[in-house]
Structure 1
Amino acid sequence: MLFTHDTECGLTAAAALVNTDGATREGLPDIAALDRFVATHRFSGRHEHTETELRAVRALRPRLRRLWDDDLDTVVAVVNDLLQEYRALPQLIRHDDQPYHVHAVPRDAPLASRMAVEAAMAVADLVRGDELDRLRHCARPECANVLVDLSKNRSRRFCEAGCGNRVAVSAYRARRAARRP
């Protein structure tokens, strides 16, 4: 493990949330999709299952995308703005059979607030460790997704939408076509 469990979870969830904002398809089309997202990424605490909550989570995505799209100083400004806006007060917490980890807003804070602060805290760890380059864009030119490279050798290049396979198949087909007379 390169980072603490909560940092990895925060980064992974932030990337997944950013990637739900698809250019051609809405990744969080309804409350049921948000429920699945919350369960998949194991967000604890308050979850209202309302359209208002869904809109707040969707509205967070462009702000989080800036963590991938901007230079270090801008990323730091975004992180600091999120932490200040949501009045983050880091505390060590243990719940749901998880070891101690940091929560910076109460468990009864709105879901979008908790998502924003968890992402900001995780990116703050990357900045402090001079590891911000682990936040990347998918290497497949047609893909707008982001990813977090948590590999030890910093080799991850593709998102989880199957882009690595698509690139490999395309390269295989190109090599095969080049061999034909």
Structure 2
Amino acid sequence: MRFNSHVERLLVSTVALVNELTPGQDGGRSVGEPAGDELVEAVARAVRTQGYSGRTTAAEARALLAEVRAARQVIEAVAVDDLPGAAARVNAMLARTRARPQLDHDDEGGFRLHFHGPDDSFSRGWAAGLAAGLAMALGGDGGQRLGMCEAPACDRVYVDQSKNSHRRFCGSRCQSRVKAAEHRRRRSSGHASAATS
């Protein structure tokens, strides 16, 4: 399934927010939840796209944290094939954020479907977008495109945008780590076999 551009941007930003803001393991190193200026910078980095700076305040960034944590729980549920649990979590997010669709003018003079919260504040708007993007992915057979990194000591998440839907890692660093470890394992077992012959 290919997502439309708005849904794809929402999911890419959701994954970036989860990976930037939630504690856990990132490629073998522990990461904590950012705070203060680091939190503001992490949020801006995660939502920045071409033509959108993603600037926010510390209060708005903190207000977004609860829905980012909820988004992680949705992706974790999808990763273990708990689609009913993922759907229940998304429904709770939709209710909390009061996400509503709205047609907004685009740069070409047409309209694009966007999702808004009950007001246009940064945190309410992004919280509604997270909920709506996840809902459209799960409700449109795109849930299988969400996953958690399969590399050891990594719990970062991803959205698979490839044509063949075979992604297993959060990024090339973890993919390279796993391939290198497999290569070393094959070489050492090959050396052990040769030594016993």
The TM tier, using the shorter chain, reads: 0.7 to 0.9
The code of the aligned residue for 1:83 comes to: L
DSSP-derived class of the 1:130 partner? coil
Identity %: 33
**Structure 1 residue 41 displacement after superposition:** 7.9
Measured in 1, the distance between the counterparts of 2:109 and 2:165 equals 27
Aligned residue runs from structure 1 range 90-169, under 5 A? 90-95=101-106, 100-105=111-116, 109-160=120-171, 162-169=173-180
Whether 2:32 is the aligned partner of 1:26: answer: yes
Measured in 2, the distance between the counterparts of 1:127 and 1:32 equals 29
**For residue 6 of structure 1, what is the aligned residue in structure 2?**
6
Whether 2:41 is the aligned partner of 1:35: answer: no
Measured in 1, the distance between the counterparts of 2:50 and 2:15 equals 11
Measured in 1, the distance between the counterparts of 2:187 and 2:60 equals 50
Measured in 1, the distance between the counterparts of 2:99 and 2:72 equals 20
Measured in 2, the distance between the counterparts of 1:9 and 1:53 equals 20
* Aligned equivalent of 1:67, options 70, 74, 82: 74
DSSP-derived class of the 2:116 partner? coil
- Counterpart contact for 1:149–1:156, Cα < 8 Å: yes
1:102-128 Cα distance to aligned partner (Å, 9 max, x none) = 222169623222222212222222222
**Structure 1 residue 11 displacement after superposition:** 1.0
Larger Rg: 2
DSSP-derived class of the 2:147 partner? strand
Whether 2:189 is the aligned partner of 1:178: answer: yes
Whether 2:58 is the aligned partner of 1:57: answer: no
- Counterpart contact for 2:11–2:130, Cα < 8 Å: yes
The code of the aligned residue for 1:170 comes to: A
- Counterpart contact for 1:82–1:120, Cα < 8 Å: yes
- Normalising by structure 1, we get a TM-score of 0.82
Report how many residues are paired: 179
Whether 2:93 is the aligned partner of 1:87: answer: no
Query: Which of the pair is proportionally richer in strand?
Result: 2
C-alpha RMSD of the superposition: 2.8
1:140-171 Cα distance to aligned partner (Å, 9 max, x none) = 13211111122221111100261101101111
The code of the aligned residue for 2:178 comes to: V
DSSP-derived class of the 2:189 partner? helix
DSSP-derived class of the 2:23 partner? coil
- Counterpart contact for 2:15–2:158, Cα < 8 Å: yes
DSSP-derived class of the 1:90 partner? strand
Measured in 2, the distance between the counterparts of 1:98 and 1:134 equals 31
Q: 1:33 to 1:129 in 2, by over 3 A?
A: closer
DSSP-derived class of the 1:162 partner? helix
Measured in 2, the distance between the counterparts of 1:170 and 1:72 equals 32
DSSP-derived class of the 2:100 partner? coil
